[in-house]
Amino acid sequence: MHPMLNIAIRAVRKAGDHVAKSLEKPQGIEVSKKGNDVVTNIDHEAEAIIIDTILKSYPDHCIVGAESGTKEGRDKECQWIIDPVDGTNNFARGIPHYAISVALRMRGRTEVAAVYDPARNELFTATRGSGAQLNSQRIRASQPRNLAGTVLASSLPFTAKQHSESYAKIQQAMFVECDDMRLSGCTALDLCYLAAGRVDGVFKLSQKPWEMAAGELIAREAGAICTDFTGNTNYLTSGNIVAGNVRVVKPMLAKIREHGSEALKK
């Protein structure tokens, strides 16, 4: 196993245990607004646990945290991307569908990823070029021939409501052809569920890099492709992602081109 993946796993498990334990005393969870999103004191505590775990082994590495921002280290080639609780809205409301997400990028490429779902004790991992695993068992994305019969994971653009009308047209066009849709509220798990064949495609608007960084590597290592809304690979910057096998991604991109506004086709 990649030594840095070991650290990622240790970090997400420690943070996951802390997050799960906090639910035993829900009165201690403090929720506040963060722009169009929400954040809790548990997010901050979990992020501190992850950062401490990483820096004990790699004190010179850079870190990008969803809550604490960017911490520059002396080693500019190594950057950890952390989401201490992806799906905070679910977590804060007691819905057991959230995850701890950690990815390491080296020289601009994501090398290792770990996403931990403490509610189900499911650990999704990947190392670039070595496949994806769920609880140490190899996983593969599904291989449908087209959108017919597929289950797609999406979300409502609550952080980009200016695109809601155009996005609704895209979703409607896809819904007509697919079998069903899921709006789970956790992008990291949506991408991991794609990797495990639990859903067949993912399309999301206005996501943050830390919501996608680990999950997209896990999905790709399981055989999926990931693109932005233009069919390129700029999704970590644009925040717009389409993922699945090529026979699913192509018609999804076609729907986006046909029904999306010009502002969305970027």
Per-residue confidence (pLDDT) for residue 207, from 0 to 100: 94
Of 191, 183, 230, the residue nearest 209 (C-alpha): 191
In CATH, the number for domain 151-259 is 3.40.190.80
Q: What is the mean pLDDT of residues 12-25?
A: 96
For residue 98, pLDDT over 80 is answered with: yes
Q: Reply yes or no on whether the pLDDT at 73 is more than 80.
A: yes
What pLDDT band is residue 89 in, cutting at 50, 70 and 90? very high
pLDDT at 1: 64
Mean pLDDT score of the chain: 94
> What pLDDT score does 149 carry?
95
Dump pLDDT digits (tens) for 219-239.
999 999 999 999 999 999 999
Residues of the chain with CATH 3.40.190.80: 151-259
The answer to whether residue 263 scores a pLDDT higher than 70 is no
Predicted local confidence at residue 111, as pLDDT: 97
CATH of 3-138, one of 3.30.413.10, 3.40.50.300, 3.30.540.10, 3.90.1170.20: 3.30.540.10
Average pLDDT (105-131) is 97
List of E strands, the chain:
31-34, 37-40, 61-65, 69-71, 75-86, 99-106, 109-117, 122-127, 132-134, 137-139, 151-153, 180-182, 201-204, 225-227, 241-244
pTM: 0.95
User: Which ranges in the chain are annotated with CATH 3.30.540.10?
Assistant: 3-138
Q: How far apart are CA 134 and CA 103, in angstroms?
A: 16
The β-bridge relationship of strands 122-127 and 132-134 is antiparallel
